[in-house]
Amino acid sequence: MTIQVVSPESVGISSDRLARIQPAIQRWIDKGVIAGARMMLARRGALVYSEQVGQLDKEKGIAMPDDAIFRIYSMTKPITCITLMTFYEEGRFRLDTPVAKFIPALGWLKVLNRDKPGAPRLEELQRPITIGDLMKHTAGFTYDPVDDSPVAELYRQAELTRNPGRSLAEFVHTLAEFPLVYQPGARWHYSVSIDVAAHLIEVLADKPLGEVFQERIFSPLGMVDTGFFVPKEKLSRCAAMYGCGDILAWNMTVLKMNEAYEKGLWGRVDVEDNYPSVRLETFARGGYGLFSTTRDYLRFILMLLDDGVLEETRILGRKTLELMHVNHLPAELLPLEDAGITFDGYGFGLGSRTMLDVGAAGILSSVVTAYLPRLKEKG
């Protein structure tokens, strides 16, 4: 299955402007911030730009190929949420269904109260964690590298995220031993909740997450190079990692990563212990963990842009995607804030940010009020 290639001008894009992309990326390479890049751009369902620049592996002198395989980290999250919503369309749950209906251990959690004077204490849940909370990041969980919570320190000591030898079921079992940072629904907080959603998929399907992804997303969309490991015959296409540290490393925090970034401490990073390319039966996550190519992920995105359909293969219904990509947060939970960075102008849907105010965000974008089908008509 091949995406149609058209001239940029035929869909209202300037070839001269597209020519600016590669030199801009090259400047990042020259600064040593990245080693290489693979870029694809589509409009109205057709491909108008496809280039690569730099290197797959600097030390080995391997140029970036057009089929490079990358660790896609949090770009795993939208795939998890889309997959979970295929079960929603089957009537398996509502957004306000308590997660504990399917994962009972999450019904016994408590909240670590640290907002009032005096010693921290555990509080009972004021309401259950819902399945909608998982996708909205309002469940009350946190992340290992976050510096603003003693609960994150508990995660780090338990090696919650960095242990690929722990299955998703074991991950959630360990998570249930720790308190929440906030009452469900009280705050937006980027967290491991999408990993919990991934285990929920396993419970609903009674199958491992990778199998469900393959059956419901990858195989129907022709995503032939996407999965939780890289087959031996494809390892030569897997990009080396470069950056200012491994976010999943032992005792790593966002603050430490930011300090390394400010000092320009960039270099090759070995992440194999925490994000393995080899096949491990235990390694599957919802918040990160997948490998993919630019081509594969573009096919996933084009499906979203075409009302849940790619080349006559339907993954989700149009109204389900509309539900996912509108803001679900009340005004009192805005603006979004993550690791000390405020994201003005954004709300949050079921698995991804959603633009509410272009001016407040201060970037080139669109407020999608009538959703995506109208964008295809207007370009």
pLDDT digits (tens, 9 = 90+) for 72-88: 999 999 999 999 999 99
Provide mean pLDDT across the span 189-204: 98
pLDDT the model gives residue 370: 45
pLDDT digits (tens, 9 = 90+) for 245-300: 888 888 888 888 888 888 887 889 999 999 999 999 889 999 999 999 999 999 99
For 81-125, write each residue's pLDDT tens digit: 999 999 999 999 999 999 999 999 999 999 998 656 667 889 999
- pLDDT for 299: 97
Residue 230 Cα distances to 170, 269, 359, angstroms:
23, 18, 42
Q: What is the dihedral of CA 161, 164, 166, 168, to 10 degrees?
A: 70
Whole-number average pLDDT of the chain: 93
User: Quick one: CA torsion of 177, 188, 161, 324, rounded to 10 degrees?
Assistant: 110
Statement: residue 377 has pLDDT above 60: no
Reported as a pLDDT band with limits 50, 70 and 90, residue 371 is: very low
- Compute the distance between CA of residue 213 and CA of residue 193 in angstroms, rounded to an integer: 18
Instruction: Give residue 373's pLDDT.
Output: 46
| pLDDT digit string, tens, across residues 7-58 | 999 999 999 999 999 999 999 999 888 999 999 999 999 999 999 999 999 9
Distance CA 333, CA 347 (A): 9
Sign of torsion, CA 330 336 340 343? Answer: negative
In the prediction, which pLDDT does 277 show? 96
Pairwise CA distance, residues 295 & 301, whole Å: 10
Q: What is the pLDDT of residues 169-183, one digit of tens each?
A: 999 999 999 999 999
How many other CB atoms sit within 10 Å of the CB of residue 160?
A: 21
Question: Considering the entire predicted model, what is its pTM?
Answer: 0.94
Integer Cα distance of 358 and 165 in angstroms = 42
pLDDT of residue 260: 86
pLDDT at residue 374, rounded to an integer = 45
Distance in angstroms (rounded) separating the CA atoms of residues 79 and 116: 39
pLDDT of amino acid 116: 60
Quickly state the pLDDT bin for 5 (edges 50, 70, 90): very high
In the chain, CATH 3.40.710.10 sits at: 67-316
Q: What would the mean pLDDT of 227-248 be, rounded to a whole number?
A: 95
Domain 67-316: state its class. Answer: alpha beta
CA contacts within 13 A on the Cβ side of 190: 21
Structure confidence at residue 310 as a pLDDT band (50, 70, 90): very high
Percentage of the chain exceeding pLDDT 90:
81
Q: Tokens at residue 179, please? A: 């308190």
Confidence of residue 376 (pLDDT cuts 50, 70, 90): very low
In angstroms, the CA 324 to CA 362 distance is 23
Residue whose entry in the numeric block shows the structure tokens 């490393």: 249
Token pair 């235990």 is found at 282
CA quadruple 178, 196, 74, 322: dihedral sign? negative
